[in-house]
């Protein structure tokens, strides 16, 4: 079985300050991990993915995430927030190597960016 816990339902930052969105996962197998972003009334857009190559993964729009197996974490960071980053962010786990293809989503973190 696999699961994802996003530790904060809401995060508020000021424009230009760092962003940290926290995610812990549980998986019986070597997981693939993703971060998706959803802007209001839009579909889900892939930010980045971890696939057991490099533990530090760089994504689009300046986001990156670090896979830490010892902490079972996959936190999303960005050095400097922009107003356009305001959206809902989902941490997602896949256990495709088990044969199960469904993604398991966290409950989401809503990021607010204050001017």
Contact residues for another protein, defined by CB under 8 A: 32, 34, 36, 42-46, 49, 51, 90, 94, 96, 100-108
Nearer to another protein, 11 or 81 (CB): 11
Nearer to another protein, 56 or 115 (CB): 56
Nearer to another protein, 20 or 46 (CB): 46
Shortest distance (Å) from residue 79 CB to another protein: 25
Shortest distance (Å) from residue 31 CB to another protein: 10
Shortest distance (Å) from residue 46 CB to another protein: 6
Rounded to an integer, what is the distance from CA 86 to the centroid of its chain? 14
């Amino acid at each position: 079985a696999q699961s994802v816990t996003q530790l904060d339902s809401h995060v508020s930052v000021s424009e230009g300050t760092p962003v940290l969105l926290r995610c812990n996962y549980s998986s019986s197998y070597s997981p693939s991990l993703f971060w998706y972003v959803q802007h209001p009334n839009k579909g889900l857009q892939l930010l980045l993915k971890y696939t057991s190559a490099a533990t530090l993964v760089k994504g689009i729009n300046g986001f990156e995430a670090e896979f830490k197996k010892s902490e079972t974490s996959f936190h999303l960071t960005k050095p400097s927030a922009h107003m356009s980053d305001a959206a809902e962010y989902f941490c997602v786990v896949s256990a495709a190597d088990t044969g199960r293809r469904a993604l398991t989503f966290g409950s989401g973190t809503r990021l607010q960016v204050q001017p």
